[in-house]
Structure 1
Amino acid sequence: MAREYLRTFKVYDLDEVKEHLVIAGDLSGDCAKCRELGIDYLKAASCPQCGTPFKYIASRRLDSHPGERFQFARRIQEKRPDLIMIDHTDYTSAVGHKKARDFFG
C-alpha cells in the first residue's frame, strides 16, 4: 500500500504553537518564542536561549518553493518525527488576524 503525505487541517491554540515553534530557514531555524537565530532544527529539541521545548516546525522556504513541501515533510518525518509540521503561511496569517483582533478589541 502506497503511503503519501496529505495536508490536513486541525484547530490549534495559536499561543501554544507560538510557544513551541521552530521556524526553519534554508540552513538553520529560529525560535518563534524568543526569536533566537541559528538553531539546528534537525537536532535541537529545545531553544538554546529560552529553553522552550519544540513541538512544532514551520518552514519559510516553502512560501517561495511550494513544490518542496512534501520533500520537506518527508525529511522532517524521517529526522524529527517528534515535531508536528505547521504551514508557515497559515501560521503567519493566523498570527496577523489575532493581532488585528487584539488591537481592535
Structure 2
Amino acid sequence: MKSITAQDFQMLLANQPVTILDIRDKGAFAERHFPDAISMPTTSLPNRLNELDKDTTYFVVSHSGRRSDIIAQFLNNHGYKALHVIGGMKALKKDAA
C-alpha cells in the first residue's frame, strides 16, 4: 500500500503542487479543507471514478486516515495512482482552511 506521512505530505505540499482527493462528507469538507482539494465523499466515489485521471497522482485524505487507506487501495486496484495520507485531516490541522 502506498502511503505518505502527514509530515512528509506537508513538506511536499509546501514545495510543489499536488492533487488532493478529500473523501470526507460534504459537511466536513465545507467546514475545513485544503484549497483546490477535490471533494469526493466515500459514498459517491465508485460512481464518480470517470471524473478522475489515471495519469494524476491523488493524495487521499479522510478525517483520521482509516478510510483514505481503503480508498487509496481501491483506486490503485482500479488503475489510478493514489497515496493515502497517514493520520488524515487530524494530522494535517494547520494547513487546511
TM-score, scaled to structure 2: 0.46
Q: Structure with the greater relative contact order (CA < 8 A, sep ≥ 6): 1 or 2?
A: 2
TM-score (ref. length: structure 1) = 0.44
Higher gyration radius (CA): 1
